Amino acid sequence: MAWYYYNRRNNGGGGGGAWGRLSKGLLPLLALQAASEFHRIGRKPPVTAGLLLANSLIYLRPAFVDRFLPTLYEVSFNPHLILKHGDLKRFFLSPFYHVGDAHLFYNMTSLLWKGIQLETSMGSPQFASMVAALLGMSQGITLVLARSLLLFFDYEAAYYNQFSVGFSGVLFAMKVVLNAHSDEYAYLHGIVVPARHAAWAELILIQLFVPGVSFLGHLGGILAGLLYLHLRGSYSGADPLTVFIKKAVDFVSWPVRVIQRFLSFQRPRTSGRGRVGSSQATAVPSGIWRCPTCTYDNSSSVDVCEMCSTARRGSGFTPSHRYNRTGDLSAEEVRRRRLERFGG
């Protein structure tokens, strides 16, 4: 799940380093794992699904999106070029690019696990707001760290002029948020650590054992997660970005809700052989009698309403005396009879 970096001389060639040697068969496995997880859970998390799809489409570059996408080199995170040219494309798009199947696989499986847990617990609008904030903060902190190393320590080669891509800066931030209040323990390559400190342990282990990863990018993600928790803890009001996302979703889905309400209003509710819900005087087919209490259409072969147990008398109708002597049933009484009738 490393935030892979490469030197400019590689010109953004895909599949370099440790990741390129592990690429065969991982994308079908990723698709199978994602399908299995989404089938298993009841409520599908749309933001997590959208992030998985976006990262995968950008990596696979099918013909219908390829012509709209910049190349890997054009969006790779490079502190020098971002600050020199104000290149926001590199700042915002580099997390969504990956250099090999394995790079994409490990980042997306981590996103699948963390995204499902966070989105189902906090809700889609707030999760989307959090991801946007973590992305911006992790990229910004990484940029500040690289510039600071250059200014104060004249440390340029390792971070300031190198190129990096990948989503794991955001994933490290999500890991911090997910485990912030956990009292459990996590297992990292056979080492047991408190879950709250798992991101720090993973930062060190990945840097030691996985070549070609960006220590600064991962560190920026961890610091972004800590900053997000601090800001959320010190701010008691509603997150403005979450409110905006909720209003945007409501606005976009408004036509769908209107159509659903219209269809629901037009469609009569049915149960068994009869129909419920129309109080207007409509023609009743022969062989059917309509209960005046609940408007259920009953077969002429029965003398008691199958829905509310109102008795039929001749061609007219009277309520069963054991329920109501006034001839009028309240809505609560009708509901009680229905429940009693159908065992609900």
Q: What would the mean pLDDT of 174-179 be, rounded to a whole number?
A: 95
Considering 80, 98, 103, 218, which one is annotated as catalytic?
A: 218
7 vs 216 pLDDT, higher one: 216
Burial 230-260 (b: 16+ CB within 10 A, else e): eeeeeeeeebeebeebbeeeeeeeeeeeeee
- The residue to which tokens 């690019």 are assigned: 97
Angstrom distance (rounded) from CA 276 to CA 274: 7
| pLDDT higher than 70, residue 287 | no
| Tens digit of each residue's pLDDT (9 = 90 or more) over 53-81 | 999 999 999 999 999 999 999 999 999 99
| pLDDT higher than 80, residue 52 | yes
What are the start-end ranges of the H helices in the chain? 17-20, 26-40, 46-60, 63-66, 72-75, 79-85, 88-93, 101-122, 124-153, 168-178, 198-209, 215-234, 240-266, 331-342
With residue 298 as reference, give the H or E element that holds it.
strand 297-299
Q: What would the mean pLDDT of 86-95 be, rounded to a whole number?
A: 95
Residues with Cβ within 8 Å of 43's Cβ and at least 6 positions away in sequence, in order, are 120
List residues bridging with 304 in a β-sheet: 311
Q: Is the pTM of this model over 0.75?
A: no
Q: State which amino acid sits at residue 208.
A: L
Q: Judge contact between 69 and 89, C-beta under 8 A.
A: no
**341 exposed, middle or buried (CB, 10 Å; 0-12, 13-18, 19+)?**
middle
Known catalytic residue at 197: no
| pLDDT higher than 50, residue 326 | no
Known catalytic residue at 271: no
Percent of the chain with pLDDT over 70: 73
Q: What would the mean pLDDT of 231-236 be, rounded to a whole number?
A: 82
Angstrom distance (rounded) from CA 60 to CA 58: 6
Other Cβ atoms closer than 10 A to 310: 24
Q: What would the mean pLDDT of 155-176 be, rounded to a whole number?
A: 87
Angstrom distance (rounded) from CA 193 to CA 185: 6
Give the pLDDT of residue 152.
Answer: 84
Q: Judge contact between 111 and 171, C-beta under 8 A.
A: yes
Q: State which amino acid sits at residue 165.
A: V
Q: Parallel, antiparallel, or unpaired: how do β-strands 316-317 and 312-313 relate?
A: antiparallel
Considering 124, 129, 168, 214, which one is annotated as catalytic?
A: 168
Mean pLDDT of the chain: 79
Q: What would the mean pLDDT of 124-137 be, rounded to a whole number?
A: 94
Give the pLDDT of residue 212.
Answer: 80
Give the pLDDT of residue 246.
Answer: 74
Give the pLDDT of residue 202.
Answer: 93
Give the pLDDT of residue 154.
Answer: 74
The token duo for 126 is: 């707030």
Give the pLDDT of residue 222.
Answer: 97
